[in-house]
Amino acid sequence: MESPIKQDREKKKLTQEELAKKVEVTREAISQIERGVFTPSLKRIKIIGDVLGASNKRRQEYSDFFCEFSKGKE
């Protein structure tokens, strides 16, 4: 399952580094978020959504991705 954040980042033609600068995190953090290794706070999901121009429904999909991903880790 591909991260909806990665999908939206690529649609906006942003690199991980560019998104990281806009969100004020490291490129490594964006990589970990996209791979589901690290679950960002709801506040950070909102900031990422703002930068990517995501609708509220799409932001919910971001959250759902992390819930589904974490279920697979159990």
Residue 45 and residue 59 in contact, taking contact as beta carbons nearer than 8 Å: yes
State the CATH number of the domain containing residue 56. 1.10.260.40
Domain boundaries, position 20? 4-73
- The yes-or-no verdict on residue 72 having pLDDT over 60 is no
CA angle 2, 27, 29 (to 5 degrees): 65
Q: How many folded domains does the chain comprise?
A: 1
1 or 72, which is more confident?
Answer: 1
What's the whole-model pTM score? 0.88
pLDDT of residue 59: 94
Q: What is the pLDDT of residues 1-45, one digit of tens each?
A: 789 999 999 999 999 999 999 999 999 999 999 999 999 999 999
Distance (Å, whole) CA 32 – CA 26:
10
